Amino acid sequence: MLNLIRLYITKKECYKHDCPDIYDDKQIINLSAVIRNIQNASKEYVEFKKNIEHEKGFVGNNRDLRLFDFISSTTEIRKKFLKASEDKYYLFDSLVFESFGDYFLAEKINKEDYLNDDKKRKRYREVFVKKRESLKSKNGEFLSNSEMKNILNECSLDWIIICNNFKFISDKQYRNFIDSITFDTFVLLTSKEQQELYNKSVLEREKFELVNSEEKVEFYQSIDEDNRKRMENVWRKIGAIRADSTIRNLRKLENMLNDTSVDSSNDFEKKTM
């Protein structure tokens, strides 16, 4: 207990978020809260050890986990150990989730919800196992977990790109695609078949963009043509207005000239008389 209290004091930054109740308002250790925390963690440890002994869940190297290490870990880590000890597929299904991580992210499925859904776990676990079976060597050797994770990460990304390409074209194209082939089916295709689907989606999108870009050009050209015609009409009207104005100005000048000539002639007549 003293070692644990020493940890709570020296590693306060680590524990105050996980176990805020063990510190009072002045951030001093609350012994009653510490004892309560140790009792709860100890009960979890006893349950954990029972599960390990009866091999209810995943065992691995967990037999060697000491009480102090278990209690001094965070609440989240203790829950993971306990969950793994009562669930044979917990760690394997965690690997499956991480392998299909991008797909689950796109589907807005988080890890906690996934691991709490036995139906989903069984479904994607089977897909993982079937894919690994299809990729084993002629000698019957399986790929490592890390190799499988990399391959399935690529499958997930390719699937997302393909779906986005069809969705870009239209919702109908996207729906037709996912109705004809599910993600599970796509994963189990050969790399060649997956590449063909990928190439098809890219080609369809490029064709769609090309057609639409041509339509846009024609549309803008038609707008430009209309604008040109409108501007020509405007300039014609401006020209007509200017012409009318010029004629009116000329007439005014003529009238002024006529008036001036009359006045001038009268002045001249007066001077010569």
**Residue 85: closest CA among 117, 53, 124:** 53
Q: 10 Å Cβ neighbour count for 204?
A: 17
Contact call for residues 23 and 29 (beta carbons, < 8 A): yes
Task: Give the contacts of 168 (CB within 8 A, at least 6 positions apart).
Answer: 205, 208
Contact call for residues 63 and 33 (beta carbons, < 8 A): no
The pTM is what? 0.61
Report pLDDT digits (tens) over 182-193: 999 999 999 999
Report pLDDT digits (tens) over 81-140: 888 888 889 889 999 999 999 999 999 999 989 999 999 999 999 999 999 999 998 888
Q: What is the percent of the chain where pLDDT is above 90?
A: 40
CA distance 273 to 270: 5
Task: From residue 243, give the alpha-carbon distance in Å to each of 78, 155, 171, 220, 252.
Answer: 94, 74, 58, 34, 14
Report pLDDT digits (tens) over 136-174: 988 889 999 999 999 999 999 999 999 999 999 999 999
